[in-house]
């Protein structure tokens, strides 16, 4: 089985670090379930977010350990799906602070995905 590997640039490593932080936040969000009658995401979305956070953390560990492009794609997919689950916050009546937080998460996720999927530049050959 031929697994495609790559070396990571500083941008890729920073993106993986931020993805791990977002993954930890997703996993930790399961501890803060909203009681009935209070504003917050539905239980299913919170559990899905926790699962996506776990997938992100495993994917980041896998990517760092093996330098696998597939692992990086798994992390990107988990983060994209997690951001998609935050989009309904822009279409329902919730406090502005929660909407701002959801927007921040979506923008940060876009940045992380771009950072981790940006190919590492190979050095240009020196010619005289």
CA distance 59 to 101: 25
For the chain, domain boundaries: 10-116
What's the whole-number average pLDDT of the chain? 87
Distances (CA, A) of 81 to 5, 47, 88, 125: 24, 13, 13, 39
Q: What percent of the chain has pLDDT over 90?
A: 59
pLDDT over 70 at 86, yes or no: yes
The number of residues in the chain equals: 128
pTM: 0.83
Looking at residue 13, its pLDDT comes to: 94
For residue 66, give every residue at least 6 positions away whose Cβ sits within 8 Å of its Cβ, in sequence order, or none.
3, 5
Residues pairing with 68 in the sheet: 5
Residue range 108-123: mean pLDDT, rounded: 89
CATH number of the 10-116 domain: 1.20.1260
* Gyration radius of the chain over CA positions: 17
């Amino acid at each position: 089985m031929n697994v495609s590997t790559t070396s990571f640039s500083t941008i890729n490593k920073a993106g993986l670090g931020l993805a791990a932080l977002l993954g930890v936040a997703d996993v930790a969000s399961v501890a803060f379930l909203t009681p009935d009658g209070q504003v917050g995401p539905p239980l299913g979305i919170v559990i899905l977010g926790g699962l996506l956070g776990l997938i992100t953390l495993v994917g980041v560990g896998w990517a760092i350990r093996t330098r696998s492009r597939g692992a990086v794609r798994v992390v990107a997919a988990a983060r994209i799906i997690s951001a998609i689950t935050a989009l309904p916050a822009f279409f329902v009546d919730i406090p502005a602070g929660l909407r701002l937080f959801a927007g921040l998460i979506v923008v940060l996720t876009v940045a992380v995905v771009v950072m981790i999927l940006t190919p590492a530049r190979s050095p240009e050959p020196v010619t005289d």
